[in-house]
Structure 1
């Protein structure tokens, strides 16, 4: 069964919760629902920090030679086009981050993770919890977190369909990612409990929480991994 669904032909129904492709089946309930942080989307998937760094280097390239000659003011005047271009680029990045946040709804139920994404075309990904082999968390200083989902073999979603809601550099084996989720640690705990509960009726291995070493400052990682 495909995890991809376009919403162009979706039937309008008051019984359909926001962010879901249809009414909840009997026995299914929403555990958490939210949107990514607009600032987080702009700064990380849209690389807002890299944009600032790039234009800062260009500005320094113009200002420093003038400063060494004692003409700091002249150097600043000569670099104003660079600052203007930086402001324009950051405006575009900020708008993209806001649009990505505004058009995205993440939902965790007791049976699946649902990702409604897409700025131009709305697409819904239904990811059953029993197909989630591993759920990793990376937190940031502002309290938001990225939750990457490693799916079981045979469950494939195209990387380009997911981006920017995909784990970076996992092109051959794409991993859906809940980006810049507010209060990421709490959402990760909800997801981990849901995965455990979804696996209990089956004879498959139960997922457990694993604490992994911190890879970057302010980026602890929790994993719900299948125990073998």
Structure 2
């Protein structure tokens, strides 16, 4: 059985109700996800510093044989394995994740071993913050007006960092972020007609993209 055989529509918990339409579906860019969610560059830099320190310490005390460099080799190997495992985890996370935008809701299909779907009706979205990343990707952090709270651990890594008391779902490393943000802005504005637009020159809030979309 493949990972999608139990889903009537990939990325959704069931078939769409009559009248609901999928606007966009996509998955995170796993390389960007590795850097931004799993911090592979930070971990690599940390182990690189440890390796340099171990090598300097060995040189200071004198190197008379291969045994004197065992600490350097172990540190380097631990760093390589650790970074490789983080990349593997990022790849598996991206492969098992599907973000879906319809004209009524956002659905986060997340989870590697135990996939689950999180429904976010557009009507309970308070605001969406856009953060642009490398290679045309970006993150969309979603603040909800609903009193119902989502668990940070249950969302991670699809949660806005450091927002533990009021966790915010986050669509991470989304490819072609400008297009997706525009589509999301239009969908939200169609549901919440009293929505506010923030100029793109002064903020990265999603409403700025909506302003460009309306102007177009």
Counterpart position of 1:137: 130
- Aligned positions of 1:133-172 closer than 5 A: 133-172=126-165
State which drifts further: 112-121 or 59-68: 59-68
3-state secondary structure, aligned to 1:137:
strand
- Distance of 2:190 and 2:140 partners within structure 1: 18
Structure 1 length normalisation: TM-score?
A: 0.80
How many residues align? The count is: 203
Q: Deviations over 1:150-196 (max 9, x none)?
A: 00041311111100000000010010000100111211111111100
Give how far 1:116 is off: 0.5
Give 1:57's match in structure 2, choosing from 49, 61, 64: 49
Q: C-alpha deviations, 1:63-108, integer Å up to 9, x for none?
A: 335667998xx89776222221111111110110011001100000
Per the alignment, residue 120 of structure 1 pairs with 113
Q: Distance in 1 between matches of 2:117 and 2:176?
A: 23
Change (3 A) 1:161 1:27: same
Q: What residue number does 2:213 align with?
A: none
TM-score (ref. length: structure 2):
0.84
- Within-5 A mapping of 1:55-94: 55-65=47-57, 79-94=72-87
Q: How does 1:182-193 map to 2 (within 5 A)?
A: 182-193=175-186
Does residue 1:106 correspond to 2:95, yes or no? no
Q: Residue 38 of structure 1 contacts residue 101 of structure 1 at CA under 8 Å; is this kept in 2?
A: yes
Question: Could you give the per-residue CA deviations for residues 12-65 of structure 1, whole angstroms, max 9, x where no partner exists?
Answer: 57xx32101111112211111000111122222112112101101101212335
Q: RMSD of aligned C-alpha atoms?
A: 2.6
- Please list the CA deviations of residues 195-226 of structure 1 after superposition, one character each: whole Å capped at 9, or x if unmatched: 001123xxxx3242443657xxxxxx23339x
Whether the aligned pair in 1 keeps the contact of 2:32 and 2:134 (CA below 8 Å) is no
1:28 alignment partner in structure 2: 20
Distance 1:87 1:145, change over 3 A: same
CA, structure 1 residues 158+59, in 2 after alignment: closer, same or farther (shift >3 Å)? same
Structure 1 or 2: larger helix share? 2
